[in-house]
Amino acid sequence: MLNFERQVTITMADNRIYNFSAGPSMLPVPVLERCASEMLNYKSSGMSVMEMSHRSKVYDAVIKETEARLRRVLSIPENYKVLFLQGGATTQFAAIPMNLMKTGKADYALTGNFANNAYKEAKKFGDIHVAFSSKEGNFNRVPTQAELDIRPDADYFYICANNTIYGTEWQYDPETPAGVPLVADMSSNILSKPVDISKYGVIYAGAQKNMGPAGVTVVIVREDLLGNYPLEKYPVMLDWKTMAEKDSMYNTPPTYAIYVLGLVLEWVEEQGGVDAMRKLAEKRSSLLYDYLDSQDFYKAVAEKASRSHMNVTFRTGNDELDAKFAKESAAAGMSNLKGHRSVGGMRASIYNAMPVEGVEYLIDFMKKFAEENK
Ligand SMILES: Cc1ncc(COP(=O)(O)O)c(C=O)c1O
């Protein structure tokens, strides 16, 4: 029997709570322990990684090793550049049109809040066509291939691969008309499964879900897409070509966040890579969805075919009960289960670092709560 009344303290590793935050979110404990053990003196350098010059030999090894690991873990082809940038995924909402809009036309699939924010930013740069929108159904699904209306002369087609707030995820790589690069925001599902990078022109992700702490944004871009715009018009910090030519060191990169990303990648490799991450993600999410489908106290929000493996959204249908759930689950040692304000209800974000036991613990709590509040 699980003890839901256990003391919650976050001062010791064995008393950590199950943190279901959508991001920043849980990191693997061994990664945090490595950070702690290397905090004061990294590899006999006599200093913390935080204190190091980004141009030093010791830091150069950190960033190079992180890039090499990312290339290995995601099988990134040689003709793609990997950039470590700042400004969060949101900065890339502007960088994408800036770097890719050769003729001033791009197409977007609107499947949630972040896709919508990216669309609004892109509209400042040119003619944007909505290739699909699930706004009417409050973004409860992603489209099928047949529903996509992509212009053959678009400079790119944009998707948000996992919709963190609504709990939906593209289960396939959409096809685009010949010559139209596919651009994907993978902030909330990168490293959770293998991806055929060659199907994408650009993949990017803020780190603070599956990759590490907030502060670094990874951009993976096919080389031939670089440098197709008039740089003199735009801020250099948004210019992928300059960043690629300078190995992400045009200015000071987010040094510590890149180091932690390297440790997370080492952990992913030790667990068996992205294949193992996918199996775990399927296990965690199917435990939750199978439970949701087996009862009628809670209702799953996302349509079945669009369900995310990373963010599981559900509600009781009663706002007061939802609020009670959030409060009581927190008292039982789980945090951040309250859904985003635009969806309401609950959301369990179950990224790579969430142990399967965390999901089992949540389901036991859900059963108990349903029993007590029927
Ligand atoms: C899918 C997705 N894209 C973009 C963002 C925005 O990221 P940032 O806060 O790093 O700008 C988020 C944040 O949660 C997200 O989940």
279 pLDDT higher than 70: yes
- Residue 309 inside a domain? The answer is yes
144 within 8 A of 175, measured Cβ to Cβ: no
Determine the atom of ligand 1 nearest the C-alpha atom of 165.
Answer: 16
Write out pLDDT tens, residues 196-229: 999 999 999 999 999 999 999 999 999 999 988 7
What are the distances in angstroms from CA 286 to CA 17, 289, 307, 310, 315? Answer: 22, 5, 10, 11, 17
274 pLDDT higher than 70: yes
Adjacency order of strands within the sheet including 346-349: 299-300, 311-315, 346-349
Task: With cut-offs at 50, 70 and 90, classify the pLDDT of residue 13.
Answer: low
Residue nearest to atom 15 of ligand 1 (CA): 187
Q: Is the domain of 79 the same as that of 178?
A: yes
193 within 8 A of 277, measured Cβ to Cβ: yes
Ligand 1 mean position, distance from CA 187 (Å):
6
- Residue 57 inside a domain? The answer is yes
**Pocket lining: 89 vs ligand 1, CB cutoff 6 Å:** yes
248, 268, 288 — which closes off a domain?
A: 268
Whole-number Å distance between alpha carbons of 340 and 25: 15
**Pocket lining: 206 vs ligand 1, CB cutoff 6 Å:** yes
Write out pLDDT tens, residues 226-240: 988 766 778 999 999
Count of residues making up the chain: 374
268, 292, 323 — which closes off a domain?
A: 268
Whole-number Å distance between alpha carbons of 62 and 92: 24
Write out pLDDT tens, residues 326-374: 999 999 999 999 999 989 999 999 999 999 999 999 999 999 999 999 9
Ligand 1 mean position, distance from CA 164 (Å):
8
Cα 282 to chain centroid distance, Å, stands at 16
Q: Is the domain of 114 the same as that of 196?
A: yes
H or E element in which residue 33 lies: helix 29-37
Give the global pTM.
0.96
Structural tokens at position 80: 């793609």
Total domains, the chain: 2
H or E element in which residue 319 lies: helix 319-331
Residue nearest to atom 1 of ligand 1 (CA): 187
**Pocket lining: 113 vs ligand 1, CB cutoff 6 Å:** no
**Pocket lining: 114 vs ligand 1, CB cutoff 6 Å:** yes
Ligand 1 mean position, distance from CA 123 (Å):
19
Identify residue 45 by its one-letter amino acid code. S
Kindly give the pairing relationship between strand 346-349 and strand 311-315.
Answer: antiparallel
Determine the atom of ligand 1 nearest the C-alpha atom of 90.
Answer: 11
**Pocket lining: 86 vs ligand 1, CB cutoff 6 Å:** no
Structural tokens at position 11: 């001062």
Write out pLDDT tens, residues 144-183: 999 999 999 999 999 999 999 999 999 999 999 999 999 9
Determine the atom of ligand 1 nearest the C-alpha atom of 160.
Answer: 1
**Pocket lining: 187 vs ligand 1, CB cutoff 6 Å:** yes
241 pLDDT higher than 80: yes
What is the domain extent for residue 360?
Answer: 273-372
Provide the mean pLDDT of the chain: 95
5 pLDDT higher than 60: no
Q: Is the domain of 246 the same as that of 295?
A: no
160 within 8 A of 306, measured Cβ to Cβ: no
285 within 8 A of 46, measured Cβ to Cβ: no
Kindly give the pairing relationship between strand 202-206 and strand 311-315.
Answer: unpaired
* DSSP secondary structure code for residue 340 in this structure: P
What CATH number is given to the structural domain containing 149?
3.40.640.10
Task: With cut-offs at 50, 70 and 90, classify the pLDDT of residue 24.
Answer: very high
Q: How many CB atoms lie within 10 A of CB 190?
A: 28
